[in-house]
A and B are shown apart, each in its own frame.
Chain A
Amino acid sequence: MTPASAASEQSDSNGSRVVLSARGLRRDFAGFVAVRNVDLDVGHGKIHALIGPNGAGKTTVFNLLTRFLPSTSGTITLLDQDITRTPPAKVARLGLVRSFQISAIFPHLSVLDNVRVALQRQNGLGVQFWRSLSALDDLTPRAQELLERVGLANARHHMAGDLSYGRKRVLEIATTLALEPKVLLLDEPMAGMGHEDVAVVAEIIRGVAENCAILMVEHNLTVVADLCDWITVLQRGEILAAGDYATVSSDERVKTAYMGTADD
């Protein structure tokens, strides 16, 4: 078998069970290698950060892991299952769910319906075109619960598109949580948020990580230092360094390539 399947038997360096793992991930775009030789292990209950300067290939890695983009080579394993060739919707059904850099919501649906759309699939209500919408009323308490968790309960009948930027992002997280993901991929969840919102979202993420694995792209290094157990630094599509915050931040190459200017 592939090295990836061997890795999934192991634990990562923090001692938790590896749920998502990638080996030798590579993606070529016409004459340009966007991502090469990327190995990743994300452990259950851990928050893993993917950082690096703009254009380092972070979002491409996300797209490869969730199969929104096919990888040129390499293997991806989710919960001991090879998903290297699995279609993206199936990957999501297997428990690997992503958020997007731009707030991915359904703007002309109500806040409540945004969450219920996500809940609908597990209840097998996807294909029922002959039933009335009240068939979805059973999902309302659960949706309500999720909205309360992120502090959106009072906005549930607003159009999602009318929410402020920060609340849209929080709604996206609530929708993602509705799927009860095993692995959560967050693409810059706090980008463009004010200070209070960042603290709120950090708290939500910390809570979610208790029974889920999280891989997040984040530029705010204070957040990364505070929240993440493991950090992978990406530069020009390759892994520059990996380790906990202390290791990575003291790495000379990382300092010069990325943190040297951003940190101190």
Chain B
Amino acid sequence: MADTALERTSPTRARVEWALVVLGILVLIAAPFTIYPFFLMQVLCFALFACAFNLLLGYTGLLSFGHAAFFGGAAYFCAYAVKSWGFSPEAGILLGVLGAAVLGVVVGFFAIRRQGIYFAMITLALAQMFFFFCIQAPFTGGEDGIQGVPHGFLFGFIDLNKPLAMYFFVLAVFLISVFIIWRIVNSPFGMILKSIRENETRAISLGYSVANYKLAAFVMSAALAGLAGALKANVVQFATLTDVAWQMSGEVILMTLLGGIGTMVGPIFGAALVVSLENRLATSGFPVQIVLGAVFMICVLLFRKGIVGEILAFFDRRKPRE
């Protein structure tokens, strides 16, 4: 049936969506010439982190409260390899991603045995164990973290000490990763993840070994969260306990909820909002957490689907599908 691909979303809507994506990419390419690149890179790293988290929460229905372990773990692995072993940036990032994936297998293996709040508690508990491991382990530098990670040369010839070179490297990784997440979500595999989110027992009764799918999604999400963490370690040139602390797990939940769970671009906007607020308020002397808390409450009370989620829902109501 040739009509199905078109009928899924109307052609005009698909065209508008593509136009917005292209526009968004153009804005990101132009942005560092007007906005401080260092700030933009931080936003992109956290946006990738939130997108990775959303793959699990938004599309598989699993609320992990331990994603800081993957983000911060990869940051440590990458920072250590680059600083102490002289790894190139790309090799360090690859090592961080692999490390996060291994952590994801371990945490996921235990967590997927339980559902709902118990799943969240197991991920939190294991992430806390990892946090305390990071305090004790000699290679993390304890309270000091790993400082002064050199930028180095990407692929041996691109000098990442130049802010714009670093920015476009981060942007490229970000765009490729978001594309990967989009591909996973809109694939036959993603279809089964959604069915698990919608009705897990029904998915089992259709013959799907749900545990395997959940674990696969968990590891993919952990690896991508690790990519974000390793990238961030390269950008800010350090990895500290902040990255593995439970507050970081909470922050990524906040970003995803603010932007819109289960939407492709929601987490990106959520991350941009949270990082901007934190940057602004850090210098104002105003308590960041209180403002974030208030923003979160307003979001939950007024637009429960998140900012992007509400916008999409608005257009869906305006243009009912035939």
A interface residue numbers (CB < 8 A to B): 66, 68, 87-90, 92-93, 97-100, 104-110, 112-113, 116-118, 120-121, 125-137, 140-141, 144, 157, 175, 179
Q: Quick one: which of B8, B188, B206 has the most chain A CB within 10 A?
A: B188
Instruction: Tell me whether A133 and B187 are in contact in the complex, defined as CB-CB below 8 angstroms, given that A104-B199, A108-B198, A141-B1 are known contacts.
Output: yes
Q: Is the CB of B188 within 8 A of A144?
A: no
Q: Is the CB of A131 within 8 A of B209?
A: no
Interchain CA distance A131-B194 in the complex, whole Å: 16
Interchain CA distance A105-B321 in the complex, whole Å: 21
Q: What's the least CB distance linking A219 to chain B, in Å?
A: 22
- State whether the Cβ of B184 lies closer than 8 Å to any Cβ in chain A: yes
Residues of chain B lying within 8 A (CB to CB) of residue A175: 206
Q: Is the CB of A121 within 8 A of B208?
A: yes
- State whether the Cβ of B19 lies closer than 8 Å to any Cβ in chain A: no
Query: Interface code B184-227, partner A: CB below 8 Å = 1, 0 otherwise?
Result: 10111111101100110111111111100100100010000000
Q: Is the CB of A120 within 8 A of B191?
A: yes
* B interface residues, how many (CB within 8 angstroms): 32
Question: 29 A-B contacts, Cβ less than 8 Å apart?
Answer: A66-B205, A87-B209, A88-B205, A89-B204, A90-B207, A92-B204, A97-B205, A98-B205, A104-B201, A109-B194, A117-B191, A117-B206, A120-B191, A121-B206, A127-B189, A128-B188, A128-B189, A129-B183, A129-B190, A130-B183, A130-B187, A131-B187, A133-B190, A134-B5, A140-B1, A144-B1, A157-B321, A175-B206, A179-B207
User: Quick one: which of B186, B194, B206, B210 contacts A118, CB cutoff 8 A?
Assistant: B206
Interchain CA distance A105-B200 in the complex, whole Å: 10
Interchain CA distance A179-B190 in the complex, whole Å: 20
Q: Is the CB of B202 within 8 A of A106?
A: yes
Interchain CA distance A137-B2 in the complex, whole Å: 8
Q: What's the least CB distance linking B203 to chain A, in Å?
A: 8
Q: What's the least CB distance linking A63 to chain B, in Å?
A: 10
Interchain CA distance A144-B257 in the complex, whole Å: 36
Residues of chain A lying within 8 A (CB to CB) of residue B187: 128-133, 135
Residues of chain A lying within 8 A (CB to CB) of residue B201: 68, 100, 104
Q: Quick one: which of B190, B205, B206 has the most chain A CB within 10 A?
A: B205
Instruction: Tell me whether A105 and B199 are in contact in the complex, defined as CB-CB below 8 angstroms, given that A88-B204, A117-B206 are known contacts.
Output: yes
* Besides A87-B209, A97-B205, A120-B188, 20 new A-B residue pairs in contact (Cβ under 8 A), listed by A number: A68-B204, A88-B204, A89-B208, A93-B207, A100-B202, A106-B195, A125-B188, A126-B188, A126-B192, A126-B213, A128-B187, A129-B216, A129-B220, A130-B183, A130-B187, A133-B187, A137-B1, A137-B5, A144-B1, A179-B207
Q: Is the CB of A129 within 8 A of B189?
A: yes
